[in-house]
Structure 1
Amino acid sequence: MALHSSRTSLSIPARTLRQCRCSSYRTPSPSISPISCLTASTPVSRSFSSSTPSRSSNPEEPAESRPRWTHTPEGMRGPGFSINIVKDPRRKVWSVNEDPKRLDAMYNRLLGREGERLLPDDIKWLAVTHKSFDQGRRGFNTKLAYFGRQIMILESTLSVLAAPPPPADKRAEDPFGRQPFEHPALANVDKLSARPPQDLMRKERLARLAMDVGLPEVIRWKPRLPENLEGSGLEVVLNTTLFAIVGAISLQHGAEVAGRVAREKILRRLN
């Protein structure tokens, strides 16, 4: 009898646990969870009504219709003041060219007739923009100048190798009677020692060419000393701009066109 009562007491928790498990799998009533009833019976619609404002119709979003080179991007504008303290306020005033016709005239003088058509408008302005202009917020020509400089070095080296050999000089006789090694493939190498390619691309000569075509009137930069342009690095800025124009032409039309421009429009004038 005692054994039967102990079995009955053990079966009560088992029945209770079984009832709890069964109740947990029952379908919840709508009064308890309306959201669960909605997800179980009615699919959620993903369409939006016409009253919802779209991204393109947002009146607060500015519509920039001007070219990229004419303005500073809104996201790069500062708070309206500068922490740079200038000793002489007159040095902060510097005006640059904003006339596309003057820029096209410079490209025509440098590249020849219809030279302004070799590059798009944005690239033409980017090639003549130094990193000092507008704190570099409108883009600058540093990478274009690096690429164009490599092209100019290659073309100047090839021009030296293709030039007539220099007059043969009398070599000093070797005291031991040795003869230097000679080979037709190495005959042009001596030309590089007689006339280094860097002599063709001296910054003074490139700056003089840039002044002849009117490049100082159209470059966009901010000199450190407006009263002393030479001390502010005008020659370096002019050289950088010429290299950037060559680099932009190479990216736009390929190496063949850029090499021809470097040879015929720049190196030939320097010689």
Structure 2
Amino acid sequence: MASTVSARAARSACIAARTVRPVVPALSRPQSTSTDGVPTSESDKPRWSYTPPRAKAPFSLRTKPNRVHWPVNSNPALLDLFYIRMLGNGGDKMLSEELKWLTVTHKSFDQGRRGFNDRLAFLGKRIVQLQASLALVQNPEPTPTPTPERPLTDKFGRTIFSHPALDGLHNISLDKKSFLTDRKKLADVARSYDMEKVIRWNPKDPEGPNGLKTSGLDLVLAHTLYAVIGALSLEQGGQVASKVAKERILAPLGIKSVS
């Protein structure tokens, strides 16, 4: 009888040993920071001025690794002059140092490893397009006044309802707004502020005929112009960004705002 009880106890102990899982201590992950792997001499530099060592690929990702290196601006004073030309006196103080460089950095520069301005440009474009729509609505084209002898009618002979508050709606058609804010026109506005001297990008074929044009210089300039507005909205607020969009972008394009 005693042997039976001891056998049952031994069997129960074996089952318990198989079902209980051993406790494995959790492995702690080190918290990464922006300066991990960066030498002390480089960690003291501004973020825009160097490529993080851990972001460098072990081999070139370019299809033409031997193409000519395209020089870009690295002089903060030249960048500040651009912001003063575009934003007026004190324009170089409206953005933080890091954001000033990020705003003029295209994703083609350094393979995007120092950050780029796509998100800023997306936000800025929405602001510019909104202000363009408001300006077009507020500046309707003169329409003929209907009279009893000559009422305004459509092609079916029906009298068209007319009201001053609705006169500007036909101005905000997609075709008209796209024509007024065309990429080429925005690039010309950017050139008037000498933006071409400070943008950081890498043309696809700088040595070919019309290399900068075929590489999309107009698109990069317009994109960066939007990014300036997005950066201002981020750090100065929507009211300042909208004011700059109306005065520094839309007004040179001939789009006048009433208020």
Bigger Rg, structure 1 or 2: 1
Give the partner amino acid of 2:51: T
Contact 2:82 2:194 in 1 (8 A): yes
Secondary structure of 2:191 counterpart: helix
Give the partner amino acid of 1:159: A
Is 1:160 aligned to residue 136 of structure 2?
yes
Contact 1:107 1:116 in 2 (8 A): yes
Is 1:77 aligned to residue 56 of structure 2?
yes
Q: Which moved more, 1:127-136 or 1:183-192?
A: 183-192
Sort the Cα spacing of 1:174 and 1:221 in 2 relative to 1 into closer, same or farther, 3 A: closer
Any residues of structure 2 matched to 1:204-243 within 5 Å, and which? Answer: 204-227=184-207, 228-243=211-226
Secondary structure of 2:252 counterpart: helix
**How large is the RMSD of aligned CA atoms in angstroms?**
3.0
Q: Hey, what does 1:62 align to over in structure 2?
A: 39
Deviation track 1:19-41 (CA, whole Å, cap 9, x = no partner) reads x99xx9xxxxxxxxxxxxxxxxx
Give the partner amino acid of 1:86: K
Any residues of structure 2 matched to 1:21-170 within 5 Å, and which? Answer: 62-63=39-40, 64-79=43-58, 81-82=59-60, 84-86=62-64, 89=66, 91-168=67-144
Contact 1:160 1:195 in 2 (8 A): no
Q: Hey, what does 2:229 align to over in structure 1?
A: 246
Uncovered stretches (5+) of structure 1, i.e. residues with no partner: 1-9, 25-54
Is 1:196 aligned to residue 176 of structure 2?
yes
User: TM-score by structure 1 length?
Assistant: 0.72
Identity fraction in percent = 41
For 2:243 and 2:94, locate their aligned partners in 1 and report how far apart those are by CA, in whole Å: 13
For 1:83 and 1:148, locate their aligned partners in 2 and report how far apart those are by CA, in whole Å: 30
Give the partner amino acid of 2:217: L
Q: Hey, what does 2:161 align to over in structure 1?
A: 181
Contact 2:38 2:52 in 1 (8 A): no
The one of 238, 241, 253 equivalent to 1:258 is 241
Sort the Cα spacing of 1:269 and 1:177 in 2 relative to 1 into closer, same or farther, 3 A: closer
Give the partner amino acid of 1:179: T
Secondary structure of 1:269 counterpart: coil
Q: Which moved more, 1:214-223 or 1:91-100?
A: 91-100
Contact 2:48 2:101 in 1 (8 A): yes
For 1:142 and 1:135, locate their aligned partners in 2 and report how far apart those are by CA, in whole Å: 13
- Deviation at 1:204? 1.4
Sort the Cα spacing of 1:78 and 1:103 in 2 relative to 1 into closer, same or farther, 3 A: same
Give the partner amino acid of 2:105: T
For 1:126 and 1:61, locate their aligned partners in 2 and report how far apart those are by CA, in whole Å: 20
Contact 1:166 1:194 in 2 (8 A): no
Count of aligned positions: 221
Uncovered stretches (5+) of structure 2, i.e. residues with no partner: 14-31, 255-259
Contact 2:152 2:160 in 1 (8 A): no
Contact 2:139 2:168 in 1 (8 A): no
